Amino acid sequence: MKQLLRIDNYDLSLRMNGENIRVISSADLFVSEGEIVGLIGESGCGKSMLWKSLLGLADPQKWICSGELRLMGNPMDLSDRAALTEARGNQVSVILQDPMNAFDQLFTIERHFIETARAHVQWSKGEILKKATSLMRRLYIREPEKVLKMYPFQCSGGMLQRIMIALALMLDPPLLIADEPTTSVDVTVQREIVAMLKEVNRDRNTGILYISHDLKIIEDLADRVYVMYAGYLVESFPVSALQERKVFHPYTVKLLQSRPSYTKAYLPVLEGNPPSLLDRQAGCPFAPRCPKAVDACRSYDMHVYEIGNQHIVRCLRWEDENEPAQN
């Protein structure tokens, strides 16, 4: 299968008060054609900055990145912002967390479709609107011709989220990045969006990188999963590992244990907070919260253990038994 996105040994740092503060460390990740890949992790761990920096959206005055990036199999120069911007739209589209802020309130929905298309292709207005109405219909938007004439503030959050997906699909990008697209919508719209993304993936063989805090959605949607903690990808595995409870990193185990279920009398809570950017100690960043931490963890170089069938883990003690996750 063709790899649509691949990063190797990717680092991202923030310039702050004359210092470079590491936000993402040694990340290796790929998304192949037709695959839905989940990326999960606590707030602030670096999920959004990962894709923003890869697509040239991180301010180069503030952010420094290094490592290897390939898009559609082609090596990309991380400092060539023009090339990364060009890739956005044609090769990769993004569906954002907050649809209200993704639209310009002064422009009609129609204008958003026209501007998005014209940034990349030479289609006539008629062609653009035909494609827009057909996509909107497929995304269950009633009377799309009327909706095109509306302004974003006249649309509900759920409708804007669907319009954002239609905009993202307009140029048939091989890869979609969905950053928490269901955060600001109710459960019904949430289900519809997940169903739509599955349909797009199946019908067009689109690769999807789906970012979420919600393990349940990731379990329903993804083929493979990456777990991020404090800027490290600490574990990755085929989704079957979640279903079979065969995950090994203590953080992933805690996430699984904290998943709501009708049969649990109470939910274990992951005590403590992730380390702040300014307070990263040597060794494993999970050590202060980890029930299995030993002295050696504080000098662990965070290398990766490959433990079979596309399963990798960054934990010194991955082989020692974890508390079992109940369900």
Give residues in contact with Mg ion (CB under 5 A). 48
Report helix, strand or coil for 162: helix
- Pair of tokens at residue 89: 């739209």
Beginning with the edge strand found earlier in the chain, give each strand of the sheet holding 19-32 in spatial order.
Answer: 19-32, 3-16, 63-71, 74-76
**What is the Cα–Cα distance from 49 to 242, expressed in whole angstroms?**
25
**What is the Cα–Cα distance from 133 to 130, expressed in whole angstroms?**
5
The verdict on 287 binding ligand SF4 (CB under 6 A) reads: yes
Smallest gap from Cβ 108 to ligand ATP, in A, equals 29
Could you say which of 23, 84, 256, 287 contacts ligand ATP (CB under 6 A)? 23
How far from 224 is each of 46, 158, 294, 302, CA to CA, in Å?
Answer: 19, 27, 30, 21
56 binds, among ligand ATP, Mg ion, ligand SF4, none (CB under 5 to 8 A by kind): none
Window 299 to 318, contacts with ligand SF4 (CB under 6 A): 300, 315-317
Residue among 3, 10, 54, 2 at smallest CA distance from 211: 54
Smallest gap from Cβ 104 to ligand SF4, in A, equals 44
Q: Nearer to ligand SF4 by C-beta: 95 or 290? A: 290
Report helix, strand or coil for 124: coil
Smallest gap from Cβ 40 to Mg ion, in A, equals 11
The verdict on 254 binding ligand SF4 (CB under 6 A) reads: no
Window 192 to 251, contacts with ligand ATP (CB under 6 A): 213
Gap between the terminal Cα atoms of the chain: 34
Residue 127: CB atoms within 10 Å? 12
Q: Nearer to ligand ATP by C-beta: 31 or 136? A: 31
The verdict on 43 binding ligand ATP (CB under 6 A) reads: yes
DSSP string, 173-215: -SEEEEESTTTTS-HHHHHHHHHHHHHHHHHH--EEEEEES-H
Smallest gap from Cβ 44 to Mg ion, in A, equals 8
- Pair of tokens at residue 223: 């083929």
45 binds, among Mg ion, ligand SF4, ligand ATP, none (CB under 5 to 8 A by kind): ligand ATP
23 binds, among ligand ATP, Mg ion, ligand SF4, none (CB under 5 to 8 A by kind): ligand ATP
239 binds, among ligand SF4, Mg ion, ligand ATP, none (CB under 5 to 8 A by kind): none
- Which residues would be at the binding site for ligand SF4 (CB under 6 A)? 249-250, 284, 286-287, 290, 292-293, 297, 300, 315-317
- Which residues would be at the binding site for ligand ATP (CB under 6 A)? 14, 23, 41, 43-49, 213, 277
